[in-house]
Amino acid sequence: MLKWTRPLAHIKTTIFLIIMGFFVPIFLPTSVEAIPAFARKYDMSCTSCHTKAPRLNAFGEAFHMAGYQIPQTQEGELRKKRQIGRIHSETELMNIFALRATGNFAESFSGGKPVETNLALPREIELYFGGTFTDDISYFFNFSNEIDAIEGIDNALFEKKTVFGLGKEFFLMFNLGPSILGPPSDHMSGPMVMGPMVMVGKVDPSTNFSYSTNRQLIIKTPGRVDEAGNIQRFTLTPYAFAAKFFGLSTGTGKAIEVTQSVLYNSAGDFGVDVHAMLGQWMLQAGIMQGINAGTSDVNEKKDPYLMARMNFGGAHYFSGSVSGLVNWGNDTAMVNNQLIDWFRYGFAGNVKYKLLDIYGAIIWDKISGLPPSAAATFDDSALGLTIEGDFLMTDQHLLSLRYDHMEAGGFVGQKADGKTLTLQIRKYYRDNFAVFLRDTVNVGKVSENPLQNFRNLIAMGIDFDF
Amino acid sequence: MQQTKYNIKQSALWLISLFLLLSAPVQSQEMDHSTMGKGAQEMPGMKGMKDMSTMDKMPEMSSDAMAVMKGKMIYNMSCFLCHGTNGEGDGPASRFIGPYSHPRPNNFTSGIFKFRSTESGDLPMLTDLMRTIREGIPGYMPSFRNLGEDGIKAVALYIAKTFIQEELPTTTTIKYAKHVGPYTYSAKSASRGGMLYNIMKCNECHGNDGKGGRMDLRDERKIMIHPVDLTRQETFGNGTSHEDIYRTIMTGLDGTPMPGYNDAFKGEEDSAWDLVHYILSLQGR
């Protein structure tokens, strides 16, 4: 049963927004052109690599895996590139530079407290520089400016602020393959080998997982913090990747938002990552900070992870993959000011058939080494599940449906479970410019708990890539 | 301090063990090479390919068969993602390239090829496949120039042997007059071409202004296709040089409504050049 208890003004705004969103942009020019950096560079349409940006299709994944190069071709001689010795130099800046602006420009919550409607500019603006320095060294630098980001502060409180700086990812990637195995053309048989690739810097390891954290078509909706710093509603993100525990703080004592993507599935954190492909298999391992603690982590121990992935398909418009993950958050967070170990296990899967793209992840979290003070009151295990399906209905319309489920852990007195269903439609006025409208319905209980404090979230926004 | 050291050591250990873990399968694969089975002798053809290994072990293998093997490796690394492992144009990424409109990777086994120097309806020559692979197709397929001529030939041979499965023609009956002497660009020639453009009914599809008029066309797979905007050379898939455009007009693009005009221009190749010059003039070249 949905409760539509909201003031009249609220309904009016929503209707107004819907009308605006769907009629105003109709007058914008519609055409399909390749815009962002790699598309410009290789003279290809966005959809060669993306189902719809930022999701990757099978070719995009291979391109990404090969270090932003087209598998089997090293790009020194590319049309718009110059080669000086072994160093590539881009003759056009636009070939390495891209920009993405996303955000809800309007959102309205109902069913919880308080009911609210927000108007905003795109929340997140990201600049990217990506490409290759030499055949075997590639780079990806991302700067971002995020408005209304929620950050934990001390004493289980939060603040909302504008964050500018290094974006989610900032790394160099080295392909050790040629030096270990010789040039690719030399080995002529046996399974395909790619890599090992080593990424160093601020890395999102989950980019190789069957369901990657960054590349969301349903972007997050910021939560709400009151004047005193108490959180009233958590940021809406995929629950599978979330922290899931109520009452955790980082090694430096800053509160961790229950829905923040963490550990292997954090959207990017400092570390070293190694991955390689052998036939249909990919193996990945690395160490990272885990909780986005920045460069000055008091937690000297690093969080190691192992991931194995198997790809399948290759004909009949079909492809997919399954991945398994083990992640050890080594003394990575605190409960009642004592460091704990955080174990994460998970599976993810993806199938793509024709224009349908279905992916999901189920992730279990377990905390060990709880302080005696919390032993009786702290639930040490949690589970999160996210499944999404995207379908390209026409050249211009993408329909997405996502289900999120969280069986939270943490302090029993604080915790609550979450269940949401999101339906979204995106209209692409150009290949790189979409307007979306969505409704996230809390299909579980509505209460004042920050995880449950709404019934409906209707949001409208844009996703623009240049 | 004590603790920090311990942790760094631990991290290093992790890294080292991970490297070992990753390199293990690679080494065992290299061992496969030296212990390769007898299946290798079953060449030529594609059978037993999996067991094939280093070149020196198979002196009796023809250089073409060797190239096909190399081509297979290249294909299964890069091309299958769009063209499909069976060459049927149904690779996992293919539908996203042309979700609801032309082009999509074509089905190599159908024998219908767009980019040829041969008569409409004929198979392409090996050099045609190689040209497409080398140059790529703006907007839709990357250039694979960096494979080198050997690699390009290898993968073209693989496509021919495995998917097309017929001898490719080595000559063409179409006359490719060199773009020299009487055939070079002149304003007069271009304006003759302008008249021909209407007489030959190019305008019925491409529009009077060349920008592509007709919206109701379908390709051979019944997918919507728009005539190319002749004023924008960057949209040309078959190349933009004088010779490329001449070839497009003479051969047509099989599998699309764009007909070949070789029969119409037989013995009057200079008129075909007039058309080329008209198209160039549309582009201000």
Summarised one tens digit per residue, pLDDT across range B48-88 is 333 444 444 445 567 888 899 989 989 988 899 999 999 99
**Is some CB atom of chain B closer than 8 A to the CB atom of A79?**
yes
pLDDT band at A414 (very low <50, low <70, confident <90, very high): very high
pLDDT digits (tens, 9 = 90+) for A103-132: 887 788 888 777 777 777 677 788 877 777
pLDDT band at B47 (very low <50, low <70, confident <90, very high): very low
Task: Please tell me which residue of chain B has the smallest CA distance to A35.
Answer: B139
- CA A319, CA A42: separation in Å to the nearest integer? 24
- CA A292, CA A204: separation in Å to the nearest integer? 11
Task: Please tell me which residue of chain A has the smallest CA distance to B86.
Answer: A315
B141 secondary structure, DSSP code: B
- CA B105, CA A264: separation in Å to the nearest integer? 36
CB atoms within 10 A of CB B71: 27
pLDDT digits (tens, 9 = 90+) for A416-429: 999 999 999 999 88
pLDDT band at B280 (very low <50, low <70, confident <90, very high): very high
**Is some CB atom of chain B closer than 8 A to the CB atom of A27?**
no
Element (H, E) at A90: strand A87-90
Q: What angle do CA A285, A290, A293 make, to 5 degrees?
A: 145
- Mean pLDDT, range A383-405, rounded to an integer: 95
Length of chain B: 285
- Mean pLDDT, range A53-60, rounded to an integer: 86
Is the distance from CB of A145 to CB of A137 less than 8 angstroms?
Answer: no
Element (H, E) at A342: strand A338-353
pLDDT above 50 for A5 = no
Element (H, E) at B245: helix B242-251
- Mean pLDDT, range A63-75, rounded to an integer: 70
Contact A47 B96 (CB under 8 A): yes
pLDDT value of position B185? 85
Q: Is B56 in a helix, a strand, or coil?
A: helix
Task: Please tell me which residue of chain A has the smallest CA distance to B9.
Answer: A301
Contact B73 A192 (CB under 8 A): yes
Q: pLDDT higher for A201 or B213? A: A201
Element (H, E) at A145: strand A137-152
B118 secondary structure, DSSP code: S
pLDDT band at A18 (very low <50, low <70, confident <90, very high): low
Four-CA torsion B255, B258, B262, B265, nearest 10 degrees = 170
Q: Contacts for A139-147 with beta carbons within 8 Å, 24 or more apart?
A: A139/A171, A139/A172, A139/A173, A140/A68, A140/A169, A140/A170, A140/A171, A140/A173, A141/A167, A141/A170, A142/A166, A142/A167, A142/A168, A142/A169, A142/A170, A142/A268, A143/A167, A144/A168, A147/A103, A147/A120, A147/A121, A147/A123
Contact A278 B29 (CB under 8 A): yes
Q: Burial level of A376, CB count in 10 A (0-12/13-18/19+)?
A: exposed
pLDDT band at A45 (very low <50, low <70, confident <90, very high): confident
CB within 8 Å of B51: residues ≥ 6 apart: A189, B36, B37, B38, B39, B40
pLDDT digits (tens, 9 = 90+) for B229-269: 999 888 899 998 889 999 999 999 999 999 999 999 988 88
Q: Nearest Cα to A320, choosing from A330, A310, A331?
A: A310
Q: In A, which residues are within 8 Å of B151 by CB distance?
A: 72, 185
pLDDT value of position A141? 82
pLDDT value of position A126? 80
pLDDT value of position B54? 43
pLDDT value of position A310? 95
- CA A170, CA A178: separation in Å to the nearest integer? 24
pLDDT above 80 for A295 = no
- CA A102, CA A426: separation in Å to the nearest integer? 13
Task: Please tell me which residue of chain A has the smallest CA distance to B25.
Answer: A278
Is the distance from CB of A110 to CB of A446 less than 8 angstroms?
Answer: no
- Mean pLDDT, range A129-144, rounded to an integer: 79
CB atoms within 10 A of CB A336: 15
**Is some CB atom of chain B closer than 8 A to the CB atom of A307?**
no
**Is some CB atom of chain B closer than 8 A to the CB atom of A80?**
no
CA distances (Å), A42 to each of A72, A74, A78, B241, in order?
A: 14, 12, 8, 20
pLDDT band at A75 (very low <50, low <70, confident <90, very high): low
- Mean pLDDT, range B208-224, rounded to an integer: 88
- CA A105, CA A123: separation in Å to the nearest integer? 8
pLDDT value of position B39? 32
- Residue A28 backbone phi and psi in degrees, to 5: -75, 150
pLDDT above 60 for A185 = no
Q: In A, which residues are within 8 Å of B50 by CB distance?
A: 189
pLDDT above 70 for B210 = yes
Q: In A, which residues are within 8 Å of B10 by CB distance?
A: 301
pLDDT above 70 for B8 = no
pLDDT digits (tens, 9 = 90+) for B72-129: 989 988 899 999 999 999 999 999 888 888 999 999 999 999 999 999 999 999 999 9
pLDDT above 90 for A259 = yes
pLDDT value of position A123? 73
Q: What percent of chain A has pLDDT over 70?
A: 80
pLDDT band at A189 (very low <50, low <70, confident <90, very high): low
Query: What part of A 99-158 touches B (C-beta under 8 Å)?
Result: none
- In our burial notation (b when 16+ CB lie closer than 10 A, e otherwise), range A77-115 reads ebeebeeeeeebebeeeebbbbebbbbbbbbbbbbbeeb
Q: Which of B85, B99, B101 sits opposite A315 (nearest CB)?
A: B85
Is the distance from CB of A360 to CB of A331 less than 8 angstroms?
Answer: no
Q: What percent of chain A has pLDDT over 90?
A: 38
- CA B227, CA B209: separation in Å to the nearest integer? 12
Is the distance from CB of A153 to CB of A256 less than 8 angstroms?
Answer: no
Mean pLDDT of chain B: 80
Q: pLDDT higher for A12 or A101? A: A101
Which stretch of A61-65, B25-29, B224-228, B237-241 has the lowest confidence by average pLDDT? B25-29
For A9-465, which CATH superfamily applies?
Answer: Porin (2.40.160.10)
Q: DSSP letters along A187-232, please?
A: --SSS-EEEEEEEEEEE-GGGGSSS-SS--SS--B--EE-TTS-EE
H runs (alpha helix) in A66-129: none
Predicted complex ipTM: 0.81
pLDDT value of position B28? 34
Task: Please tell me which residue of chain B has the smallest CA distance to A53.
Answer: B96
Contact A185 B151 (CB under 8 A): yes
Instruction: Give all domains of chain B, ordered by start, each with its CATH number.
Output: 60-164 (1.10.760.10), 181-282 (1.10.760.10)
- CA A116, CA A111: separation in Å to the nearest integer? 10
- Mean pLDDT, range A220-248, rounded to an integer: 92
Q: Contacts for B127-131 with beta carbons within 8 Å, 24 or more apart?
A: B129/B156, B129/B159, B129/B160, B129/B168, B130/B156, B131/B239
Query: What's the start-to-end Cα distance of chain A, in Å?
Result: 42
Q: Which of B21, B26, B99 sits opposite A47 (nearest CB)?
A: B99
Q: pLDDT higher for A184 or A159? A: A159
- Mean pLDDT, range B185-198, rounded to an integer: 93
- CA A8, CA B276: separation in Å to the nearest integer? 66
Maximum Cα–Cα distance across chain B? 90
Q: In A, which residues are within 8 Å of B138 by CB distance?
A: 43
Structure tokens at A134: 């030499």
pLDDT value of position A167? 74
The model's pTM? 0.84
Q: Burial level of A443, CB count in 10 A (0-12/13-18/19+)?
A: middle
